[in-house]
Structure 1
Amino acid sequence: MTPAAPSTPSATRPDLRWSGLSHRGKVRPNNEDAFLALAFDGREVHRLGKFGEASVATSDFVFAVGGGMGGAKTGEFASRITVEKITQLLPKSFHLAARGINNGFTDILLEVFDAIHRELMKLGYSYEECRGMGTTLTLGWLTPGWFYFGHIGDSRLYYLPRSGGITQLTHDHTHVGYLRRQGQITEREARSHPLRNALHQALGAGHQFIDPQFGAVACTPGDRFVLCSDGLVDGLWERQIEELIRTPTPTEAKLNPADRLVAASLENSGNDNTTALSLELIATSAPDQPEPAPAAHPKRKRAAAQSSR
């Protein structure tokens, strides 16, 4: 389930550009991935299109990618439930803040992850066909100067700072991901490891307890982020992701960033559902230093987010 149309740019000078695309791949009969783009300004929540531009000065933005699992149609159902729960729960938290009931970003994201997990587990207990149903989730919350994120599973969040380079901010919740973080295997070895798809953590999927990863990164104009499902990195090395975002060929540049990422991944692999969300903080002038970490909720008092749970 993906946004259906491009969004109309804000009347305020845009400083955020995004694009998203999800494809079922060349092998899978259906698409169990889903992505979401939302904007909210304290009064209304707007479902954003597959691509667009807007101003971070007037709204906060939430972007998410999930990869469902469970076989048949249940993985697709799980990712759809996840998208709908995010759409319902984050606005509720935002409106509570408007009434002076403030929670930190990490607390809000933890509530969202827990609520989705409980819903998927309840469905798994109640219906035989939903048993084992689950999803990964990588979610980013963009506010002026800061990008907060929550994550579970093996979908990913990459940070491409204006100064260059690419960094995976999220941890793959797999044994292979652990080995790579410890420096015991390389990116190439991880891709061919027999246990590369064995998840230790996911929402639902029969896991009684979850321990999502939470964090925050200060961001400035010119910085970029990529959220993606594991299918994208099946077909692209990290250096290729960076090249496609920063230095596309003239032919590649005719596509928006998400489209060119997915197209290149499908050309090289296509064995799995493939989803990408690309975000760019538009550099309209020399970047300023980021504001101090917020002290409570966005647009009002901000609560500093923990770097991890």
Structure 2
Amino acid sequence: MRVLSFSEKGCIRKNNEDSFLVLSQQGFYAVADGMGGHRAGEVASSTALQELEKLVPQLLEFEGQALENGLTEAFMHANRVVNDASTNKPENAGMGTTMTVLLVRSNTAVIAHVGDSRAYLWRDEALTSLTVDHSLVGELVRLGQITPEEAEKHPQRHVLMRAIGADQEIKVDCRSINIQTGDVFLLCTDGFSNLISDQELAEEFQEPSSWEGRFENLRKLTLERGAPDNFTALCCILE
């Protein structure tokens, strides 16, 4: 797996509350988008990924459904640690983070996530979303109450329904898919996906360029559009 990455604070924010993790030898990749005042967002996202990293060796002992269950349990552990830190330290009050993980084992990819950071699969010249946003507008779209176009401009589009650390218990979405040579996985925070549409992603991925060139074009486009939020993306290329 070849991995490309960027993580930037953007054009307005003073610090970067996103975090990402690349453990290529273990086939483990993750992005997290922290929230909370006084730099607590940075603490939340980095803490959650640090806790996951500790558990990766244990996860690699599992296969199949046991691997999904193990990754879900790892999310729950990270949630408890972040929630405890939020509860016990006044400077961290109210902090939380999204978290989206890709774990590649043999011929299988396991995707787990909480929040509105996303995972995509590019295969056979087609882009597929592997996650659903755990956000207020995401829920309204799923219920048919607003359109995807309305969601992009909705004043409450940043309100999350689920986040690591927000509550003592958390529901984790987890799924497995078979992988094949040529698959490309994209993990990204909402600072990226809010500015780059799925159609634009697909069009860029079809460009006759290297993956490095395509990825750099997307990074530049995010900045050109003002990048009001931190933005992070990992491009994982199965060759």
1:160-175 counterparts in 2 under 5 A?
A: 160-162=122-124, 164-175=125-136
TM-fit CA distance, 1:256: 4.6
Instruction: Tell me whether 1:231 sits opposite 2:188 in the alignment.
Output: no
Q: 2:46 corresponds to which residue?
A: 80
More helix by share: 2
SS in structure 2 at match of 1:104: helix
The answer to whether the 8 A contact 1:262-1:275 is kept is no
Partners in 2 of 1:137 and 1:170 — Cα distance? 11
Distance verdict in 2 for CA 1:266–1:21, change over 3 Å: same
Question: What are the ranges of 5 or more consecutive residues in structure 1 without an aligned counterpart?
Answer: 1-15, 41-59, 283-309
Structure with more contact order per residue of length (Cα contacts < 8 Å, sep ≥ 6): 2
Q: TM-score, normalised by structure 2?
A: 0.92
Q: How many residues align?
A: 239
C-alpha separation in 1, matches of 2:97 and 2:40: 10
Partner of 1:139: 101
SS in 2 for 1:235: coil
Give TM-score scaled by structure 1 length.
0.72
2: distance between equivalents of 1:81 and 1:137?
A: 11
Aligned with residue 264 of structure 1, among 212, 221, 224: 221
1:38 corresponds in structure 2 to 23
Alignment of 1:67-106 (within 5 A): 67-94=33-60, 97=61, 104-106=66-68
Contact 2:76/2:169, CA 8 A, preserved across alignment: no
> Could you tell me how far apart the structure 2 residues matched to 1:231 and 1:87 are?
24
Give the match for residue 118 of structure 1: 80
Distance, in Å, in 2 between the alignment partners of 1:222 and 1:185 is: 35
Question: What CA RMSD, in Å, does the superposition of the two structures yield over aligned residues?
Answer: 2.1
Q: Show structure 2 runs of 5+ residues with no match.
A: none
Q: CA deviation at 1:232?
A: 0.2
The one-letter code matched in structure 2 to 1:240 is E
Partner in structure 2 of residue 29 of structure 1: 14
**Does the aligned pair in 2 maintain the 1:257–1:278 contact within 8 Å?**
no
Which residue of the partner structure matches residue 177 of structure 2?
A: 217
Q: Distance in 1 between matches of 2:161 and 2:22?
A: 27
Measured in 2, the distance between the counterparts of 1:134 and 1:259 equals 29
Deviations 1:177-203 (A, max 9, x none): 122234443332111011111101000
Instruction: Work out the CA distance in 2 between the residues paired with 1:270 and 1:70.
Output: 19
Rg larger in 1 or in 2?
A: 1
